[in-house]
Amino acid sequence: MRQDRLEKYRKMLLEMRQEYQAELQKVSNEEKNRDRTEAKDSVDQADSNYSVDYQMARTEKINRGIKEVDEALNRIRNGEYGVCQVCGDEIPEGRLQVRPNALYCAQCKEDLEKRGEIK
Ligand SMILES: [Zn+2]
């Protein structure tokens, strides 16, 4: 892939990373606020368990997103960016523009999802 294209995707990835980190910050702030209210009165236990699970799922999802972005940035550095990790085909640019952290081509991603290996 041409250098100027790579640079464009690198910028997009860095922006994505910042958004993820802002999101992570938001979740952890919500967490702190929740802890404070719960210290005052522990109301509905089931409800608060649900909220902990939800927060954890969100944090996990964001962390996974950051990992994908970091992986894509590494691949730019190694000159492997835009190549499917499974079949080695080039990932179409149309797909990278929508999802610059894509690690697989659409076909392989679908296969992996069907097998339950990625979500
Ligand atoms: Zn593939």
Q: What is the DSSP string of the chain?
A: --HHHHHHHHHHHHHHHHHHHHHHHHHHHHHHHHHHHHHH----HHHHHHHHHHHHHHHHHHHHHHHHHHHHHHHHHHT-TTB-TTT-PBPPHHHHHH-TT--S-HHHHHHHHHTTS--
CATH code where residue 15 lies: 1.20.120.910
In a domain, 119, yes or no: no
Count up the domains in the chain and report the number: 1
Higher pLDDT, 35 or 82: 82
In the predicted model, what is the mean pLDDT of residues 31-50? 65
The first and second tokens of residue 61, run together, are 């999802």
Say how far apart CA 96 and CA 104 lie, in whole Å: 10
In a domain, 108, yes or no: yes
Specify the pLDDT at position 50: 67
Distance 84 CA to ligand 1 centre (A): 5
CA–centroid distance, residue 110 to ligand 1 (Å): 9
Domain span holding position 67: 3-114
Mean pLDDT of 36-48: 60
Judge whether 76 lies within some domain.
yes
CA 109 to ligand 1 center in whole angstroms? 7
Query: Which pLDDT score is estimated for 54?
Result: 84
pLDDT score for 36: 72
